[in-house]
Amino acid sequence: MKYILKAAAFTALCAAGAFALEGYQPPKGPAPKLPDGHVDFSGIWQRPYTADVTRDGGPDLKGAGELPFTEAGLKDWKSYDPANGDYTGQCLPFGLIRSMNAPYPMQIMQNDKFFSILHEQSTWFHVVRLNGQHPKNVEPTWFGDSVGKWDGDTLVIDTIGFNGKTRLDTIGHPHSDQMHVVERWSRPDLGHINWELTVDDPKTFTRPWKNTRVFTLRNDWNLIEYSCEENNKDYTAGHIKGVQ
């Protein structure tokens, strides 16, 4: 409960502070295109901090209800206590969805072969192969294996091959190594991205479920260096515990 309250407090801080849109107007105009005619998502983007994925669309929107857990998924969720160790305390990767739910900026770099996200958080990156195929034997990783294809002006990204060691959000909603993620990216105008997430994980959930977000172009921002070190004082001083 204390952890949830802290997450809620941080959400309010982000909404009222450095991550707020107050006073900023995104540029207007049509969505840019690459030479091949596809939408160009390049730029630095601000996302709504979503500490709890049941609050679909971001922290300021009404809760979407609890997730459709399987018996195993519900047991994992109810038994989770960050006081007993959260992997982020050891500077391990957030994973795909928790990274997308984080409040830190991201930069997209794109051409006709790759769609790449540079996360300011811990300087992680994630590369999507466009018009590619998943390998037959996917090696499990923190961010999974992602391929993308175009559906008109919408980029559809399919990701599998998760190692199951991450959480979906700050408050710790679980998933398994069987998670399958589909993202739909569209850019209705110059200043915004519409993002739709579908999570399918038969070990953890009884059915697929969705989240949506709107990202805002920040031409006034640059990514800054973010380094999470092994010399994490909270970890070494015992304020937080590593995963045992």
Which residue, among 76, 98, 94, 82, has the nearest Cα to 205 in the 3D structure? 76
Q: Is residue 243 part of a domain?
A: no
Which residue, among 89, 82, 77, has the nearest Cα to 237 in the 3D structure? 89
Q: Is residue 197 part of a domain?
A: yes
Q: Is 70 exceeded by the pLDDT of residue 119?
A: yes
Q: Is residue 242 part of a domain?
A: no
CATH classification at residue 173: 2.40.128.20
Q: What is the pLDDT of residue 83?
A: 80
| Amino acid symbol at 47 | R
Q: Is residue 16 part of a domain?
A: yes
Q: Is 80 exceeded by the pLDDT of residue 9?
A: no
Q: Is residue 241 part of a domain?
A: no
What whole-number distance in Å separates Cα of residue 58 and Cα of residue 49?
6
101 — phi, psi (to 5°)?
Answer: -85, -10
**Tens of pLDDT along 49-79?**
999 999 866 444 444 568 999 999 999 999 9
Q: Is residue 119 part of a domain?
A: yes
Q: What is the pLDDT of residue 151?
A: 98
Q: How many domains does the chain have?
A: 1
The residue range of the domain holding 60 is 2-236
What whole-number distance in Å separates Cα of residue 47 and Cα of residue 105?
7
Which residue, among 193, 117, 213, has the nearest Cα to 153 in the 3D structure? 193
Q: What is the pLDDT of residue 29?
A: 98
Mean pLDDT of the chain: 87
Q: Look at the alpha carbons of 15, 19, 24, 27 in this order and tell me if their dihedral is positive or negative.
A: negative
Neighbours of 33 (CB within 10 A): 12
Predicted confidence band of residue 87 (pLDDT cuts 50, 70, 90): confident
Q: Is residue 210 part of a domain?
A: yes
Q: Is 50 exceeded by the pLDDT of residue 230?
A: yes
Q: Is residue 223 part of a domain?
A: yes
